[in-house]
Amino acid sequence: MRPLIPLHALAASAAMLLAASGCAPAPEAELPDQAFIERASMIADQQQQTLKAELVSALTQAGPIGAIGVCHSAAPAIEQSLSEEHGVEVSRIARRNRNSSNAVPAELASLYNQLESQPLMDGKPHVVSARIGDRQVFMRAIPMQDQPCAVCHGTNVAPEVKAQIDLLYPDDKAVGFAAGDLRGALLVSSQTQ
């Protein structure tokens, strides 16, 4: 008869095997500082208000093709300005992105998945935050709105608008959205102290 192996030894061996194989469960994400979350929320509000004002102005003055120019050049400039002003990194990310440099980073995929599964929470854009490595991150869903977003991101984009999008973004994946879909996320991140 073979000797019995103590249960605690089996559990320890299983844990070592899982850790060695990379399958160990990830520890729960640590939340960022409340002060960071509040500041990031304010920065996200500022980015959205500024971008929306520029988009509405461009749509009124130059139509949808003029608005594409705002997203192409003004949006990154707004994010850069806010980043410098507040000492954080401000950007937009999306799985179905227009610009491949705005792809969802692998380390943020699980947070993005939370937004994707529920873009709105209590009628407002869903927000998630965490500490990841040496960074605090804040992500706010950008739910697809029927207007003005559908003009360039919807299911029925005019051919001349689509042609301009294809000219500026040859690898565009950011069309075909319905109202309420997750269009992307606004990301604010900062190095931890």
pLDDT digits (tens, 9 = 90+) for 67-79: 898 888 889 999 9
If you average pLDDT over every residue of the chain, what do you get?
85
Q: Is residue 79 part of a domain?
A: yes
Q: Is residue 10 part of a domain?
A: no
Q: Is residue 13 part of a domain?
A: no
Average pLDDT over residues 59-72: 88
The yes-or-no verdict on residue 15 having pLDDT over 80 is no
pLDDT score at 108? 97
Average pLDDT over residues 37-52: 96
The yes-or-no verdict on residue 113 having pLDDT over 80 is yes
The domain of 120 spans: 30-191
Q: Is residue 8 part of a domain?
A: no
Residue 193 pLDDT level (bands cut at 50, 70, 90):
low
Number of domains in the chain: 1
Average pLDDT over residues 90-100: 95
Q: Is residue 20 part of a domain?
A: no
SS (HEC) of the chain: CCCCCCHHHHHHHHHHHHHHHCCCCCCCCECCCHHHHHHHHHHHHHHHHHHHHHHHHHHHHHHHHHHHHHHHHHHHHHHHHHHHHHCCEEEEECCCCCCHHHCCCHHHHHHHHHHHHCCEECCEECEEEEEECCEEEEEEEEECCCCCCHHHHCCCCCHHHHHHHHHHCCCCCCCCCCCCCEEEEEEEEEECC
Residue 14 pLDDT level (bands cut at 50, 70, 90):
very low
The yes-or-no verdict on residue 45 having pLDDT over 60 is yes
